[in-house]
Structure 1
Amino acid sequence: MNLEYFIARRLVTAKNHKSSISAPIIKIAIIAIAVGVIMMIVAVATGFGLQDKIREKVSAFNGHVIISNFDDNESEVSVAPLSIHQDFYPKFKNIQGIDHVQAVAAKAGIIRTADAFEGVVFKGVGKEYKWDILEEYIVDGRKPDLKNTLNTEVLLSQYLADRLQLKVGDKFNTYFMKEGGNGMPNLRVFKLVGIYNSGFQEFDSTFIIGDIRHVQRINKWKDGQVGSFEVFIDDFSQIEEKGEEIYKAIPSTLTAQTIEEKYINIFEWLKLFDTNIIVIIVIMIIVSTINMVVALLVLILERTQMVGMLKALGASNWSVRKIFLYNAGYLIIKGLYWGNLISIGLLLTQKYFGVIKLPPENYYVNVAPVTIHIPAILLINLGTVIVCLALLLIPSYIITKISPVKALRFD
């Protein structure tokens, strides 16, 4: 058995150690590490969770990359149509990592009821529309049935339904201006079959979702003409590279824009969370390390006679230092154990019960989302151990200054 480890373990399990002067300081050091780990894991989980949730919501209404005509680049409304017969539709053949491509079209309109009216953007979608992301936000009713026969079923947000005093099953009038703004507006009577609530005010106050053929008929487009294409990719971390690949692969008459470019303010705001997470991690590691340094110094001073005895018996300075580093490592691991146990418990509680609420007008979500990222948690634990032990090498150097003769006479 390793001699240094054996002695360190005896020190940890010794009964007189628990009632020694260093006991409260050691407890404080363990608590500091546990609290530090809790803060770091919670900061990473909530930061990643908020980023993932907002990205998911933005992509649910826009895809990851939007292919359109140049004149539609900064508008939610489809101005000039483009043909659905493209080499990249329904699937990119020469680009890897593309999950789905769907055709959409949008038209501005006004919903008018007996007591209120609201300006909206009617988003027309087809049978291939990716409903699996949006279905999560449907709070009442169902998604529209987009079969071969054109129908009037639509999906409306909770925000608009409340303002217009509409409920599932109601019918309402929507007016669309004709191209050029001449003549009477086009009237469509839609039936509300589902209500969604994404918590994203920018989208909830804008979009009504229904059959794309309504937009095609109102705009008098030919069969096979759409407003734009929404592209979903497999890995969001590669959105910039895939956006560039898509732009190079499409005809020169079209343009491709990622949602990071279209909603630059939102994604720049999200990047601030990375900075906040790094700052929290650095501060917590510094606090934990300082507490461990103090605890180690107290342990060394408390065991000065033992250090002198070991040196007198021929133990090297490094051998004695390893005893205290093993001891410190045990305290660090104990703090990590409790820190991980408590933090993961808190995160699971938030994930499944949504205890902490957030104002959607500020954070775009109703409940604080969490993402339990196992590699990040392992990295936090490993980084804490390595940084603390590396920095503890400095205070352990004091052992080399302890004289065996003076230490054995120390009282």
Structure 2
Amino acid sequence: MNTELFIARRLFSSKEQNQRMSRRIVRLAVAGISLGMAVMILAVAIVTGFKQEIEGKVNGFAAQLQVVNYDSNQSYETKPINSQPAFLDRLHTIQGIKKVQQFATKPGMIKAGEEIQGVILKGIAADFDWSFFEKNRVEGAVIQLDSVRTDDVWISEQLSLLLKLKLGDRFRMYFLNENEKLPRVRQFTVGGIYRTGLEEFDRMFVLVDLRHVQRLNSWGDDEISGFEIYLDQLDEVDYMEYEVRGLVLSVLEENAPLMRVVNVKQKFPYIFDWLNLLDMNVWIILTLMVLVAGFNMISGLLVIILERTRMIGILKSMGAANANIRKVFLYLSAFLVGEGLLWGNLLGLLLGWAQHYGEIIHLDPASYYVDTVPVNLVFSHLVLLNIGAMLVTLLMLVGPSYLVGRISPEKTIRFE
């Protein structure tokens, strides 16, 4: 039988009335732990939710990796590559690649009535994955990309409001090509409207049949801007970039243009740098909350030891070693910390689920890229938070527990 654990359990469940003051102090310490745990759960859930939402939206527009002509610069006026390169079949066999699809881009200007707006036409082919845009669809139907070129395009809700365009409306676009004095003009029809909340991208991209971009650029039917590569795991993007680059360079064809692999983190560094700053904020919050919880429990433990001075003297007079008595108070502290963590988990989960399903707190999409605070509750995060908080708090209590050794039994048995 574990005597120290038995005594700690009795102390934990004790209801003695002469300990009302210490119980209040201990309850405050437990409440502090509960609040700290709730804050930690929400901080981790919100930041991972932000990262998941924003990365998903950026990848929906640009994919994790792109293979493009080496001469293409950071603008959307690109140089063509062949739509059936030698590496394409082998690219599909690389483990970790979920999907590969063609794309082509062309900068242009929309004129609708008196309104003018510069945009990027993003040409898509029959292999285009519509899942992201269907998830963010406001109205309209998927563009049918069959043997006949279609004039239907998808624009964002932001563009539709800015240009006063509705579903089914026709509008003109103007394009300038190098060495051409007059702009090329095309008419398109609004076939769908989407809203992602990523306003910088919403006001920029218009989805169109890829064959329109080919004609506007005077390309052949087998020429495109490049390939978009979607991965199973975003955190593997750097390794997969190395793998894809090695494959592309290993099968260069004679007279074919040199190609390069573009990482989405390099293409939009400001977004991912901002997300990395959020990670730093979370670590600061976690550190502060654990330290606060630890100091709360230190004060509670000291009060308990002082109040149980007579009990400590009796145990010592019966032959109990200081180490055994310290174990009693550390076990008691573990019970109290566990109680605080339990209530903290319940509070954190309740608030997290309320925000996730009720969307109580709203944000400005222009600043935060999302219109509500996203919450991503992951079981493994909860387990690690609880284990980490428990271990750090108990380690902080080891030092104060040595106060037991300074208590003399002959002076404390009569302590009132």
Task: Please classify the TM superposition score into its range, dividing by the shorter chain length.
Answer: over 0.9
Task: Please show how residues 3-402 of structure 1 align to structure 2 within 5 Å.
Answer: 3-16=3-16, 19-78=19-78, 80-89=79-88, 92-93=91-92, 95-183=94-182, 185-251=183-249, 253-402=258-407
C-alpha distance after superposition, 1:62-113 (max 9, x if no partner)? 11011111222312232x2110112343661553211111110011111111
TM-fit CA distance, 1:163: 0.6
* Worse-matched range after superposition: 137-146 or 272-281: 137-146
TM-fit CA distance, 1:168: 1.1
TM-fit CA distance, 1:398: 0.6
Is the contact between residue 91 and residue 101 of structure 1 (CA under 8 Å) also seen in structure 2? Answer: no
Is the contact between residue 211 and residue 221 of structure 2 (CA under 8 Å) also seen in structure 1? Answer: no
Is the contact between residue 4 and residue 322 of structure 1 (CA under 8 Å) also seen in structure 2? Answer: yes
Is the contact between residue 92 and residue 100 of structure 2 (CA under 8 Å) also seen in structure 1? Answer: no
SS of residue in 2 equivalent to 1:209: strand
Q: Distance in 2 between matches of 1:269 and 1:195?
A: 28
Structure 1 residues 138, 213: closer, same or farther in 2, change over 3 A? same
Is the contact between residue 65 and residue 261 of structure 2 (CA under 8 Å) also seen in structure 1? Answer: yes
SS of residue in 1 equivalent to 2:218: coil
Is the contact between residue 179 and residue 219 of structure 1 (CA under 8 Å) also seen in structure 2? Answer: no
Is the contact between residue 38 and residue 340 of structure 1 (CA under 8 Å) also seen in structure 2? Answer: yes
C-alpha distance after superposition, 1:326-348 (max 9, x if no partner)? 11111101111111111111111
Structure 1 residues 90, 114: closer, same or farther in 2, change over 3 A? farther
SS of residue in 1 equivalent to 2:88: coil
Is the contact between residue 22 and residue 299 of structure 1 (CA under 8 Å) also seen in structure 2? Answer: yes
Is the contact between residue 247 and residue 256 of structure 1 (CA under 8 Å) also seen in structure 2? Answer: yes
TM-fit CA distance, 1:57: 0.8
Q: 1:68 corresponds to which letter in structure 2?
A: V
Q: Distance in 2 between matches of 1:272 and 1:18?
A: 50
SS of residue in 2 equivalent to 1:180: coil
Q: Distance in 2 between matches of 1:381 and 1:298?
A: 25
Unaligned runs of 5+ in 1: none
SS of residue in 1 equivalent to 2:66: strand
Runs of 4+ in 1 over 6 A off after TM superposition: none
Is the contact between residue 77 and residue 121 of structure 1 (CA under 8 Å) also seen in structure 2? Answer: no
TM-fit CA distance, 1:355: 1.1
Q: Distance in 2 between matches of 1:72 and 1:10?
A: 74
Q: 1:54 corresponds to which letter in structure 2?
A: I
> TM-score, normalised to structure 2's length?
0.95
Is the contact between residue 121 and residue 208 of structure 1 (CA under 8 Å) also seen in structure 2? Answer: yes
Q: Distance in 1 between matches of 2:414 and 2:177?
A: 100
Q: Distance in 2 between matches of 1:181 and 1:138?
A: 37
Q: 2:157 corresponds to which letter in structure 1?
A: Q
Is the contact between residue 122 and residue 209 of structure 1 (CA under 8 Å) also seen in structure 2? Answer: yes
Q: Distance in 2 between matches of 1:18 and 1:305?
A: 14
SS of residue in 2 equivalent to 1:22: helix
* Worse-matched range after superposition: 193-202 or 135-144: 135-144
Structure 1 residues 54, 18: closer, same or farther in 2, change over 3 A? farther
Is the contact between residue 108 and residue 118 of structure 2 (CA under 8 Å) also seen in structure 1? Answer: yes
Q: Distance in 2 between matches of 1:373 and 1:272?
A: 21
Q: Distance in 2 between matches of 1:407 and 1:91?
A: 80
SS of residue in 1 equivalent to 2:117: strand
Is the contact between residue 122 and residue 206 of structure 2 (CA under 8 Å) also seen in structure 1? Answer: yes
Unaligned runs of 5+ in 2: 253-257
- Match of 2:255? none
* Worse-matched range after superposition: 169-178 or 271-280: 169-178
CA RMSD of aligned residues (A): 1.5
